[in-house]
């Protein structure tokens, strides 16, 4: 696709994931207008050809399809509402795709207001990491009108290799919460097996090699377990973000009458990490919490 071909795209929220998604869209030949609270963090994208807008409203006004990826429900409200928000820039026929992991109820309520303006909204959260995104192996879940999904599908496929339509507005966000609760539970289980082996006399590196070449080695463990040996300079998904998703899961569990005992239990490791001042680290830093409980020196 040549530069400028296809719908004009907009993107609000150019963090570790959002910024790399924009880079993929630029590489695919799309015209992308972006906004981030800190413009300096987006300079590398401007150098790559991204256009700049001074507000979420201006991004939406300049785009046929506008995306957002922000930290939580409050941040979504802040970027969507108000005189400078995305909704203020939406005209009839435009499409708004929110990729954030937020309250499904809030996502549905926002979608209803978008429809009242004659526009369309999809919730389009992603599953994967910086690594899977850069490798083109990111997967996306989509909630909203199927006809709108089919209209924007080529753009979504430029972001990730697998795009799955899951149903009405809010259901993709619900599915994403179901995915993310597993990340936390799997990682704590991995740590328990790792430290049990280490405490019994098996070198940590050997135990990690065995575990990561066993049947339990999911992609998320494959790329996150090495952080136990060396944390990344930039958190891919920090403790606060993971706990936000776990609390969303517990909220939905109560609403839908689905008991989530392992979510409730493993969530406490995130609280412990926060109490140790580790909230801005990637959530894999929980290895320090369990290591302390097990009396294992991890060289903190």
Predicted local distance difference test score (pLDDT) of residue 193: 96
pLDDT confidence band for 300 (50 / 70 / 90): low
Domain with CATH 1.10.1040.10 in the chain: 175-294
Please determine, for residue 4, whether its predicted confidence score (pLDDT) is greater than 60. no
What's the average model confidence in pLDDT over 273-290?
95
CATH number 1.10.1040.10 given to 175-294: yes
If one compares 223 and 86, the residue with the highest pLDDT of the two is 86
CA–CA distances in Å: residue 181 to residues 223, 244, 300: 17, 10, 27
- Do 175 and 141 meet the contact criterion of CB atoms below 8 Å apart? yes
- Do 180 and 101 meet the contact criterion of CB atoms below 8 Å apart? yes
CATH number 3.40.50.10800 given to 9-169: no
pTM assigned to the model: 0.91
What's the average model confidence in pLDDT over 51-63?
97
pLDDT confidence band for 219 (50 / 70 / 90): confident
């Amino acid at each position: 696709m040549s530069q400028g071909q296809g719908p004009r795209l907009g993107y609000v929220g150019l963090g570790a994931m959002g910024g790399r998604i924009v880079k993929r869209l630029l590489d695919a030949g799309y015209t992308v207008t972006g906004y981030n609270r800190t413009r300096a963090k987006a300079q590398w994208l401007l150098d790559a050809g991204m256009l700049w807008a001074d507000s979420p409203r201006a991004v939406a006004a300049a785009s046929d399809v506008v995306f957002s990826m922000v930290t939580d429900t409050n941040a979504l409200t802040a970027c969507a509402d108000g005189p400078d928000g995305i909704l203020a820039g939406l005209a009839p026929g435009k499409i708004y795709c929110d990729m954030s992991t937020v309250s499904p109820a809030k996502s549905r309520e926002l979608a209803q207001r978008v429809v009242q303006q004659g526009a369309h909204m999809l919730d389009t959260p992603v599953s994967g990491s910086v690594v899977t995104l850069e490798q083109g192996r990111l997967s996306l879940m989509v909630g909203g009108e199927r006809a709108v999904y089919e209209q924007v599908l080529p753009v979504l496929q430029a972001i990730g290799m697998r795009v799955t339509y899951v149903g009405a507005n809010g259901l993709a966000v619900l599915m994403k919460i179901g995915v993310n609760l597993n990340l936390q539970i799997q990682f704590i289980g991995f740590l328990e097996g790792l430290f049990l082996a280490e405490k019994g006399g098996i070198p940590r590196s050997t135990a990690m090699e065995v575990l990561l070449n066993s049947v339990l080695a999911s992609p998320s463990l494959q790329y996150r377990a090495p952080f136990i040996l060396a944390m990344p300079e930039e958190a891919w998904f920090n403790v606060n973000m993971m706990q936000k998703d776990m609390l969303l899961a517990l909220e939905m569990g109560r609403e839908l009458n689905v008991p989530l005992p392992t979510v409730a239990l493993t969530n406490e490791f995130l609280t412990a990490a926060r109490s140790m001042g580790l909230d801005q680290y990637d959530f894999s830093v929980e290895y320090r919490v369990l290591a302390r409980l097990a009396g294992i020196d991890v060289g903190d």
